[in-house]
Amino acid sequence: MSIPNTPENDQPSETIETIESFDQILAQFEQSNQRRSSEDRRQISGTVVTVSVDSVYVDIGYKTEGVLPLSVFESAGEKVEPGSKLLVSVKGRNEEGYYELSRLRVEQPKDWTALEKAFEDKAIVSGTVTAVVKGGLTVDVGVRAFMPGSRSGARDAAEMEKLVGQEIRCRVIKLDAAEEDVVVDRRAVAEEEDRSSKERRYAEIQEGDVVSGTVRSLADYGAFVDIGGVDGLLHISDIAWGRVEKPADILTVGQEIEAKVLKVDASGKRISLGLKQLQPHPWDAVEGKHVAGERVRGTVTRVTDFGAFVELEPGVEGMIHVSEMSWVKKVRKPGDMLKVGDVVEVMILGVSVSERRMSLGLKQTLGDPWVEVAERFPVGSQVEGTVTSFTKFGAFVQIVEGVEGMVHVSEISAEKRVERPQDLLRAGETIKAKVIEIDKDKRQMRLSMKQLVPTGLDEYLAEHKEGDVVTGRLIDVAGEQGTVELGEGIRAKARLVVEAVEPVQTQTGAMDFSSLGSMLAARWKNGAAATESKVEALRAGQIRSFRITVLDADARKIEVQLV
């Protein structure tokens, strides 16, 4: 028998003498090993006696039972139990004395004619590996055949050694009867059977099935699980309801697990598995356990642009919106306040079990500084604070942490008109101001700087009272109304109609008509038209006498009446 020209043994340095030497060695080896009897080659009927964790024991009518690997049935998707009838053939004995059995139903060719037919039909034949030789192995397929190492399906020399004595399924890929040159291929058959087994397995597995498997390998994103000849991916997010940092924290290679089939893509040969789906969902126990207003502690698991997620217990998370993080300052990026791994105390603001959502608040556990603002800084009180920022219409001043007030541009100075607050103030500057308004609901406070500076108006208000007759200069006249300047920078609204003088009643009850008589005499002497012309003649710039009718120090307001 000549050695086929394969990549493994195609070596130019090899000589004819070397080949002849190989043939002699091979012949000697085969003479020293008897072939199995025809009785061992035939298939016989057996009955399953026992099924263990990894083996199936079969009564084949011999004094000793035969044994088959359980994996043979599992890979084929077959169920086996005591009493099952099987067709098997005997391969030999193992170290424990049991007969090693095979379920191969392929007949071994008995002559060259049968071998030629198998070659033409590309049929699968059975054979027994007899030895490891240079470049591959020898196989007994009724005649001596050569199997290149690359077509054996073995990954290394150690695996090739293990094939010796085993019964295999292979295909004749080269046949020359005249030269007795036969080459067989086990790898192609194994790949075809593996592919067929996987396709059958993909067709059998359905979404929702619970399957048993073995963890084959671990990655950062999950674990690959062998579920009977095919691999399923157990993603890290489906390992547990709680947050899992690394699959290796939960699983180990070789571990036996049960998982739920989440998705099957037979065309893409992908199966998604879930481990946590076989456990109760933590949200099922949330109702009544966590309620709005409750203070709880948790760990920050994720930080996004709009907030941070906090895990209160494995599988139960709530979200702190960016607007619920601080009373003190406007948080633009949640990452400025929190980071993954922080343990925080939060308040539950709302729970929706049906949607599995929970809203949390961080600032609610820190205390609201606006609660006591009206008591600490009442209207009219003087405060001191730091200028923090500017707008077109004023400046913001921080009174205490979390409480800001605004000084409108019109309340900065009493001496001159201010166009921009930055013209007189700078950021970081400490100023004093008067509280003139508080809106607790809107969290707003209005301040005035100019009202803390004494003015001529303050002195005027302090020195006069309602009813006083004073002198003033008319600034403008509009019918019966006008504006009067009572002093430098002191102006008042004026009513430019002379009121009639009421008669004064004496102590005896008689009316005092003296003043009334004088008034009537004057009107009689000068005429009514003269009196009317006196009002009509009022014009800006005139100095006239007025009686103070309204004097409001708090509102800094004065109103007068022409006399």
Task: Give 4-63 pLDDT, tens digit per residue.
Answer: 444 444 444 333 343 344 445 444 444 444 344 444 446 688 999 999 888 999 998 888
Domain ranges (residues) in the chain: 16-36+105-193, 44-102, 205-278, 282-365, 369-452, 459-562
Indicate the CATH number of 44-102 among 3.60.40.10, 1.10.287.3610, 3.30.565.10, 2.40.50.140: 2.40.50.140
Q: What is the mean pLDDT of residues 300-312?
A: 92
User: 442: pLDDT confidence band, cut at 50, 70 and 90?
Assistant: confident
> What CATH topology corresponds to 282-365?
OB fold (Dihydrolipoamide Acetyltransferase, E2P) (2.40.50)
Backbone angles phi, psi at 213, to 5 degrees: -160, 175
State the DSSP code for 5: -
In whole angstroms, what is the distance from residue 90 CA to residue 394 CA?
A: 100
Domains 44-102 and 459-562 share a fold: yes
CA distances from 91 to 41, 84, 114, 124 (A): 8, 20, 22, 18
DSSP string, 259-273: EEEEEEETTTTEEEE
Say what the alpha-carbon torsion angle 407, 411, 413, 415 is, to the nearest 10 degrees.
170
Q: What is the mean pLDDT of residues 281-285?
A: 84
Name, in order, each residue with C-beta under 8 angstroms of 510's C-beta and a sequence gap of 6 or more.
none
pLDDT of 107 reads: 54
CATH dotted code for 459-562: 2.40.50.140
CA nearest 359: which of 317, 411, 301? 317
DSSP 133-148: ETTEEEEESSSEEEEE
pLDDT at 287 over 60: yes
Spatial distance between the Cα atoms of 155 and 193, rounded to a whole number of angstroms: 18
Give the angle 296-297-300 at the CA atoms, nearest 5°: 130
* Cβ atoms of 270 and 283 closer than 8 Å: no
- Residues 456 and 490 sit within 8 Å (Cβ to Cβ): yes
Q: Output the CA–CA distances (angstroms, integers) from residue 63 to 46, 88, 223, in the order listed.
A: 13, 16, 46
Which residues, 6+ apart, have CB-to-CB distance to 366 below 8 Å? 326, 327
The letter for the amino acid at 62 is Y
User: Would you state the structure tokens that stand for residue 123, as one six-digit string?
Assistant: 């049929």
Distances (CA, A) of 180 to 7, 141, 171: 20, 12, 16
* Residues 76-124 pLDDT 10s: 678 889 998 888 877 778 888 888 887 765 556 667 888 888 899 999 8
Strand residue runs (E) in 38-164: 44-51, 55-59, 66-69, 85-93, 99-102, 124-133, 136-140, 144-148
Is domain 369-452 given the CATH code 2.40.50.140 in the classification? yes
pLDDT-derived band of residue 346, with 50, 70 and 90 as boundaries?
very high
Nearby residues of 137 by Cβ (< 8 Å), 6 or more positions away: 129, 130, 131, 146, 147, 149, 152, 160, 163, 164
**Strand 357-361 vs strand 382-391: parallel, antiparallel, or unpaired?**
unpaired
CATH of domain 16-36+105-193: 2.40.50.140
Sign of the CA dihedral running 183, 188, 192, 194: positive
> Tokens at residue 12, please?
């130019």
Q: What angle do CA 409, 454, 457 make, to 5 degrees?
A: 90
Hey, which residues does 385 pair with through a beta bridge?
431
- C-alpha span between 373 and 385 (Å, rounded): 14
Q: How far apart are CA 372 and CA 367, in angstroms?
A: 11
pLDDT class of 344 with cuts at 50, 70, 90: very high
- pLDDT (tens digit, 9 = 90+) per residue, 461-507? 888 899 999 988 898 888 889 999 888 778 899 998 876 555 444 44
Average pLDDT of the chain, as a whole number:
81
Q: What is the pLDDT of residues 133-188, one digit of tens each?
A: 999 999 988 888 999 999 998 888 888 998 888 888 899 999 988 788 899 999 99
Helices (H), 348-455: 373-376
8 Å CB contact between 58 and 49: yes
Residue 495: how many other CB atoms lie within 10 Å: 16
DSSP 348-368: EEEEETTTTEEEEESGGGT--
pTM of the model: 0.45
205-278: CATH superfamily: Nucleic acid-binding proteins (2.40.50.140)
Helical H runs in 239-350?
none
